[in-house]
A and B are shown apart, each in its own frame.
Chain A
Amino acid sequence: MEEKTTNKTEEKKSNKFKIKDIVFLAIITACTLVTGAVMPLLVNVPLFGIIQLGLGLQFSLFPVIGMMKVRKPGALIFMAVFISLFLVFMFPPMVMIILCAVVAEGVVLLFFRGYKSDWACVTAGTLYMPLTIPLLYLYYNAFYTVNGEEKQAVSMFIGSSNVGMAVGISFAVIALCFVGSVIGMLISRELRKAGVLKK
């Protein structure tokens, strides 16, 4: 019994974020942000999923590197919180990315029980950006209903004019994020082999 309780307390201690974890996650977020600076241009293009297509690769690659270094529950949420401050100024609805991070982490914790496995990081990285698609769909649906007049633009934004295209783009986003996550995992594995990325 005592061993079990000491193990639990040790696990809790190891799951606590240290300063070096926060610093690394913040730096990785800065990388994501710099490479994702095209967002203000993409938000006005009336094509379903264009934001996710434009940002999918960098929003999966860098977070996976972050999670592979900081293998603690909450790492993805931290990155989402850091980046959301900038997204407010670029496109406020994208702040919902925090919610996506919570869901992605929930899924990973449910199926993998943490970030010990590399594939757990890949799963979280793959789910992170595509999860914004339904949220943005709801946003455009609600927001442009207020506006009312631009039915054509609304249908282009939310993909209701061509369901097949909307489904295709959604799959393309997932595939892109998966590729980005796998690249992130490969980079992290190489760095770990070289002794740069210590757990």
Chain B
Amino acid sequence: MSFFRIKKNVYPLFAIVASIAIIVYALVMAKRASCSYFLIGAYFWIMIFGCFRSCLRMLPIYIIVGGLFSALFYLATGVASSALTMANRFGGIFLAVAIGMSVESVTMTRNLSQLRCPRSVTLGMLIATSFTTVLRTEINRVRESMKTRGAGSILNPKIFYRAFLIPFVTRLVKISDTLALSVETRGFALGKVEYTVYKKENIAFSDILFLVGIIVGGTLAVVL
């Protein structure tokens, strides 16, 4: 019965396939008006299937960036279709990013671990995805210390190199050493070691419906 349950998030691998499909459709049909309809439909479809927040977050960015590029292209070419092309292309990419944002790094790691992906790859992906917030904090700290020491403007290349880059990389090395120790003490091992996945990611009916909806929508937009 778990197959028919309603899931909060899309199956991670299906999310990747869906985002690739959307980008491909958007790039291939960028010049057609049907592409815009497809993208609007896909936007609401994605929203229904657990990407509500990321879709809302992406919308203002898309309006600003997509609008800016469309306006630029319209001014450069004087043809409305080139503005539409640009809007469609950006729409496709922002939709794909919205899907990507809704996939949690932990679920992706679990999914890949279930599929017996090498441990080194899953560990690396997990760290790379979840490290962005730590990086932001570290960047702020280094900048704060620059201010405290009166190091000068970060826009000066010499100051940027000496007072920002070097302390920043030093912090990264220290963090990585601590994190590696922490990972090892939690019993994580590389190589051919038996392991279990605590929470398994299984395909549900809603995941199939999500993917099929996008593929059917894209195909209809191409054919009609």
Binding site for B on A (CB under 8 A): 17-20, 22-31, 33-34, 40-41, 43-45, 65, 69, 78, 81-83, 85-86, 88-92, 143, 146-147, 149-150, 153, 183, 187, 190-191, 194, 196-197
Contacts and interface: CB of A to CB of B under 8 A. Distances in A.
Given A19-B188, A26-B124, A143-B27, 9 more contacts: A19-B123, A19-B189, A27-B128, A40-B93, A78-B124, A89-B100, A90-B93, A183-B161, A191-B166
B135 A31 contact: yes
Interface string B161-186: 10001100110111111011101100
A19 B184 contact: yes
Given A19-B123, A81-B121, A146 B28 contact: yes
Nearest to A62: B169
A26 B28 contact: no
Contact of A23 (B19, B93, B132, B180): B180
B96 interface: yes
Interface residue SS majority, chain A: helix
A167 B15 CA distance: 38
Contacts of A191: 166, 169-170, 173
A69 B190 CA distance: 19
B20 interface: yes
Contacts of A86: 100, 128-129
Interface string B108-122: 100000000000110
Contacts of B132: 30, 33-34
Interface string B9-25: 00000001001100110
